[in-house]
Amino acid sequence: MIVGERLKMIRKSKEMGQGDIEVKTGLLRCYLSRCENGHTIPSLETLEKWTKALGITMSQLFADDGSNAGALPALKKTNPAELSREAANGLRRIEQAFAQMNPRDIKIVVAMARKFAAKA
């Protein structure tokens, strides 16, 4: 599902109008409309404002069932303080991408990551 469609669906389920989001975020209503209809892709900073206005987390926005996603298994075994900033940011981006992928694609990506790690 496109992120704009998801934002629109959540907004409507909470019986909020674009004007409500405009007031809470400071984003223009015409911009909100363009994002919800797939003409513009919002930045992460904008998504953060939007999710706060909707009263949800970023994890809930990207989860298929609307629940908070758990930490990636790699983060459970590794102390995040031991990761470089770049690696920690990469894991967050991967977590967001995995929330939108089907299980078969996740297995393929994990297999590729293991091959890259074996070469290092």
pLDDT tens digits, one per residue of 81-119: 566 778 777 877 888 888 787 878 888 888 888 888 887
Cα–Cα distance, 90 to 96 (Å, whole number) = 10
7 and 45 inside one domain: yes
* Of 65, 66, 26, nearest in space to 57 by CA: 66
Last residue of a domain, one of 15, 37, 62: 62
23 and 58 inside one domain: yes
Q: How confident is the model at residue 8, as a pLDDT?
A: 92
Residue with the larger pLDDT of the pair 110 and 13: 13
pTM for the model stands at: 0.55
28 and 77 inside one domain: no
77 and 110 inside one domain: yes
CATH code of the domain covering residue 22: 1.10.260.40
Q: Considering its fold, how many domains does the chain have in total? A: 2
pLDDT tens digits, one per residue of 26-84: 999 999 999 999 899 898 889 999 999 999 888 888 776 656 555 445 445 455 556 67
C-beta neighbour count of 71 within 10 angstroms: 10
Q: How confident is the model at residue 11, as a pLDDT?
A: 92
7 and 53 inside one domain: yes
- Domain assignment of residue 90, given as a range: 73-119
Q: How confident is the model at residue 69, as a pLDDT?
A: 53
84 and 115 inside one domain: yes
- Classify residue 68: in a domain, yes or no: no
